[in-house]
Amino acid sequence: MMGLVSYLVFFTTIASILAIAVLGLNLQWGNTGLFNGGVVAFFGAGAYGTLLLGGTPQADHIGGFDLFYPLALIGGAAAAGVLAWVVGRLTLHLRHDYLAIATFGVAVTFENVMRNAQGLSGGAKGLRGFTRPLEAWVNDGFSYNVLFLTVVVALLICTYWFLERLICSPYGRQLRAIREDEIAARSLGKNPGAIRLTAFITGSCILGLAGGLYATFYAFVSPQDVLPTLTFQLWAMLIVGGAGNNRGAIFGTFLIWGAWTASGWSLARFAPVEVQLYTGTMQFILIGLVIVGMLMWRPQGLLPERLVVSQSGTKKLN
């Protein structure tokens, strides 16, 4: 029984962290219509950033500033934001298919650099030397995990609340206007370029926050954590859940992550030994089929975008 509860805590923690990431992606794609093919680079920037800022000094690479944890986490998110600023300035004005290729290239390059730049990131063996915050104070492993889960869920709720407020605000209206018809928006005096950039950066900071939490949980990050396949998984979560809908984003995350771990578990349990090597392969085929199937059947997702009423139509009689 304890094992099951323990596993559920673990599952919910990871799912919540990924949900935060998907919320960030939803801001970029669902609300603003920006195609970010390199999601994992911003997630990774947050992960590496947090560990470098918050970790203890290591012999073979920079970092180890041993910062107070919340600062390290914010620093990670900020690193993602800075990367987003650079990438955004360079690419956001591109046509959508060029943008897809460019952002995909960013992700490939990010993983490539992290894998090779030993002095920066520890190279292929990854970053260690990080102690999880408050771990010394809470002796029991299970209690610590519950504490961590609580913090993560709290952050998820805050992020959700923040984004929901954002959508209903005038800024949210601007995002939708730009997404629907940029030329019209421009003619109204809005500066689409600047607005898109801020949406891109904000979404990326949220991605970085998720990355930081992820790295914190494992107290480790390596290039294996920032492969293009993670981009693919996060996109699947958003597409299935419903782009443009924050609840859809969270729902999709839990659903896909659940399916992923369930398929991995059942393959490990029931499949013959020779096939075990191909567990990952089969999972990717399944997730590919889910994405393609979803796009063919119900591209708006399971929870489609709701019409946002930012101002109630009832007027007071004068």
Partner 1 sequence: MIQSLTDGILVGAIVSLGAIGLTMVMHMLRFANFSHAELLSIGAYSALVFDALFSGILPSLANNIGPLSMTWALILSMLCAMAVTGLSAVLINEFVFKRIREKGSELSMVFASFGVAMIIRNVLGLIFGLKSQLYSNDIVFAVLVSSEPQLLIKPDQVFVLLAALLIMLVLHFVLSRTTFGYTLRAVAENPSLAEVTGIRLSRVIAIVWIISGLLAAAAGVFYGLNNHINPVIGRDLVLPIFAATIVGGIGSVFGAVLGGFIVGIAANMALLVLPSGYSPAVPFLIILVLLLVRPHGLFGEAET
| SS3 call for 126 | coil
Select the span of 61-69, 101-109, 168-176, 248-256 touching partner 1 (CB under 8 A): 101-109
- Binding to partner 1 (CB under 8 A): which residues in 285-304? 285, 287-289, 291-292, 295-296, 299
284 binds partner 1 (CB under 8 A): yes
Which among 50-58, 167-175, 214-222, 281-289 is the span making contact with partner 1, rule CB under 8 A? Answer: 281-289
Nearer to partner 1 by Cβ, of 171 and 232: the residue is 232
> What distance in Å separates the CA atoms of residue 200 and residue 24, rounded to the nearest whole number?
9
Q: What is the 3-state secondary structure (H, E, C) of 152-209?
A: HHHHHHHHHHHHHHHHHCHHHHHHHHHHHCHHHHHHCCCCHHHHHHHHHHHHHHHHHH
Alpha helices (H) along 62-181: 69-91, 96-116, 118-121, 141-168, 170-180
Residue 56 binding partner 1, by CB under 8 A:
no
**What span, in angstroms and rounded, lies between the C-alpha atoms of 302 and 245?**
10
Binds partner 1 (CB under 8 A): choice among 120, 138, 166, 282: 282
Binding mask 109-128 toward partner 1 (x if CB under 8 A, else -) reads x--xx-xx------------
Among 281, 306, 308, 310, binds partner 1 (CB under 8 A): 281
Residue 246 near residue 164, CB atoms below 8 Å: yes
Q: Cβ closer to partner 1: 69 or 200? A: 200
Alpha-carbon span 78 to 92, nearest angstrom:
19
Per-residue contact track with partner 1, 218 to 247, x per CB under 8 A?
Answer: --------------x--x---x--------
Cα–Cα distance measured from residue 155 to residue 161, given in angstroms and rounded to the nearest whole number: 10
DSSP letter at 31 equals I
Confirm or reject binding of residue 40 to partner 1 (CB under 8 A).
no
Residue 175, both tokens: 């995002």
C-beta of 124: minimal distance to partner 1 in Å? 9
Q: Whole-number minimum distance, CB 108 to partner 1, in Å? A: 6
Residue linked to tokens 């800022």: 53
Residues that bind partner 1 (CB under 8 A): 35, 37, 90-91, 94-98, 100-102, 104-106, 108-109, 112-113, 115-116, 232, 235, 239, 277-278, 281-282, 284-285, 287-289, 291-292, 295-296, 299
